[in-house]
Amino acid sequence: MGRFQRIALTVILTHLIWPATSSGQTAPILSPGWSQALPAGPDTRVKITEEYARHVGGDAYFWAWPMLNVYKRRLGYAQVQQTARAGPLMVVPLNRVGMFTDYVDPLERAVACPNQDVVYGIGALALDVSPVVVQVPDFGERFWVYQIVDLRTDSFVQLGKMYGTTPGFYLLVGPNWHGEVPKGITKVFRSSTNTGLAAPRVFQDDTPQDKQAIQRVLPGIAIYPLAEYDGHMKRTDWATLPTVAAPPASDQETQWVVPESFVDELPLVLADAPPMPGEEARYAQVLAVLAAARNDPKIRQAMIEGAKDADDKLVKPLFQFRNYGQQLPQHWSTISNESAFGTDYFTRTAVAKSNIFVNSPNETKYFYQDLDTDGTRLNSKNRYTVTFPKGGTPPVNGFWSLSIYNEHHFFVANPINRFSVGTKNKDLQLSPDGSLTIYVQADEPRDAAQRANWLPAPQGDFSLYIRAYWPQPAVMEGTWTPPAVRLN
């Protein structure tokens, strides 16, 4: 029995043996010396039913879905030999990062709900292959944050303007690394898994001047294997990367998790992500059924059928923002444990399905919307307004934005090439009372002031999405919430 199990059992037995009385005192009903050892796990010698295997397969598919997603991305990056542009995407070898030089291309379909407020970078981590050096240049007063998550999509680093991070070198290591830290490394961050993903974000406003100014800092962003570290800042001209064939065009996000292959991939994922405290029994149950599946095609097929059923009935509905999260006024929703999900399997899978790779809440707070103020699905056949009262835009130390996504949670080309509004826009028009009204509709407004505040809607159903980077306490504590989305 592990230490956590012994502690948990002691707590349970304490409540059984010493229940509280009405006076708040405790009275023994069993000998306090009584104890019982828990079994190590399921007996793998016994015959199990196909229905049980189907049940376990569906349950495991649901809670392991985010880990399967990240692991499959790692497998994809493992095939890449050089950093290159691939149409709207970037392909990067393992343990490196590639940076864009402008906002993400609207045709991108690798990660749902991208934003056009920052210049992104992307890279997959394989810390069992090598520790990784993260290079931080001098960003000056510009907002920036490096999101780096483990296999579970939980953050394990704190690098960004909100942390007062200084320029220099930082080291990422896996759970089993015990090597010597080279001179010049400012801090070491240890991941609980060997697989992860890195996504630097650097704020850029909409002006040509800032798009030019940011080019001076982007070349200093780098991630690379420890063997290449020499204590000197490396620079890369991201604008001159080679190009390779683009992936096939798609309307929806790349399907990273496939129920038919889940039985083969799950053992690799669970080996990379050892059980967290309290997960030991869950892991033992799944591994026992996987062992049976290796020798019995019917058990294997039952697990796959369970995964398919879970994918259809449990995972897919969580693509819709209105189906999860903390419910706020005016049909908005949010979450408060982003990138620190722990054993909150429901929220972690919901976020991974609908908008994977979210920042920690003190880095970015997210607000989701599928409905108007009457509870009707947002659709381009209607015109809407979102009005922030004077001084009522999201209170942030960084920046805020309101983005719009089509039914697949991606951008769709529009006549003014605008997919979000917020701090980055320097031409938004305030009303005489100081309020800010955003006009969300498919057709271009005739009024010039409305046209300046126009957020073009894609055809069909769509969603709105507020980001508050480096939020102030009012956002974190919930005293600020977004305004209604009203029919215009």
pLDDT at 69 over 60: yes
The reported pLDDT for the residue numbered 249 is: 87
What 3-state DSSP class applies to 46? coil
The reported pLDDT for the residue numbered 221 is: 98
Confidence of residue 37 (pLDDT cuts 50, 70, 90): low
The reported pLDDT for the residue numbered 39 is: 63
8 Å CB contact between 383 and 456: no
Confidence of residue 17 (pLDDT cuts 50, 70, 90): very low
DSSP label at 48? -
Q: State percent of the chain over pLDDT 70.
A: 92
pLDDT at 152 over 70: yes
The reported pLDDT for the residue numbered 128 is: 98
Helix or strand holding residue 244 (H, E) = none
Contacts (Cβ under 8 Å, ≥6 apart) of 141: none
The reported pLDDT for the residue numbered 34 is: 44
| Prediction pTM value | 0.91
Helix or strand holding residue 348 (H, E) = helix 345-355
8 Å CB contact between 424 and 204: yes
- Which residues sit opposite 196 in a β-bridge? 125, 150
Express each pLDDT in 225-254 by its tens digit: 999 999 999 999 999 999 999 988 899 999
- Alpha helices (runs of H) in 78-199, residue ranges in sequence order: none
Identify the residue whose tokens are 């407020």. 117
| Cβ burial, residue 375 (10 Å; 0-12/13-18/19+) | exposed
Confidence of residue 36 (pLDDT cuts 50, 70, 90): low
- The DSSP annotation for 159-188 comes to EEGGGTPPSEEEEEE-TT---PPPTTEEEE
Q: Distance (Å, rounded) from C-alpha 232 to C-alpha 312?
A: 50
Q: Distance (Å, rounded) from C-alpha 181 to C-alpha 431?
A: 56
The residue-averaged pLDDT of 284-310 equals: 97
pLDDT at 7 over 50: no
The reported pLDDT for the residue numbered 365 is: 98
| Nearest-5° Cα angle at 431, 426 to 437 | 70
Q: Distance (Å, rounded) from C-alpha 199 to C-alpha 100?
A: 11
Express each pLDDT in 187-211 by its tens digit: 999 999 999 999 999 999 999 999 9
- Which residues sit opposite 191 in a β-bridge? none
pLDDT at 178 over 90: yes
The reported pLDDT for the residue numbered 38 is: 58
8 Å CB contact between 66 and 355: no
The residue-averaged pLDDT of 135-159 equals: 98
Confidence of residue 41 (pLDDT cuts 50, 70, 90): confident
Express each pLDDT in 428-454 by its tens digit: 999 999 999 999 999 999 999 999 999
Helix or strand holding residue 206 (H, E) = none
Contacts (Cβ under 8 Å, ≥6 apart) of 315: 61, 62, 65, 349, 353
Burial 81-116 (b: 16+ CB within 10 A, else e): eebbbebbbbbbbbbbbbbbbebbbeebbbbbbbbb
Sign of CA dihedral 144, 419, 421, 363: negative
Average pLDDT over the chain, rounded to an integer: 92
8 Å CB contact between 380 and 432: no
CB atoms within 10 A of CB 251: 10
Express each pLDDT in 367-423 by its tens digit: 999 999 999 999 999 999 999 999 999 999 999 999 999 999 999 999 999 999 999
The residue-averaged pLDDT of 15-43 equals: 48
Confidence of residue 3 (pLDDT cuts 50, 70, 90): very low
pLDDT at 68 over 90: yes
The residue-averaged pLDDT of 17-26 equals: 37
Amino acid making up residue 9: L
pLDDT at 14 over 90: no
* Rounded alpha-carbon distances, angstroms, from residue 322 to 122, 334, 368: 28, 10, 8
Confidence of residue 20 (pLDDT cuts 50, 70, 90): very low
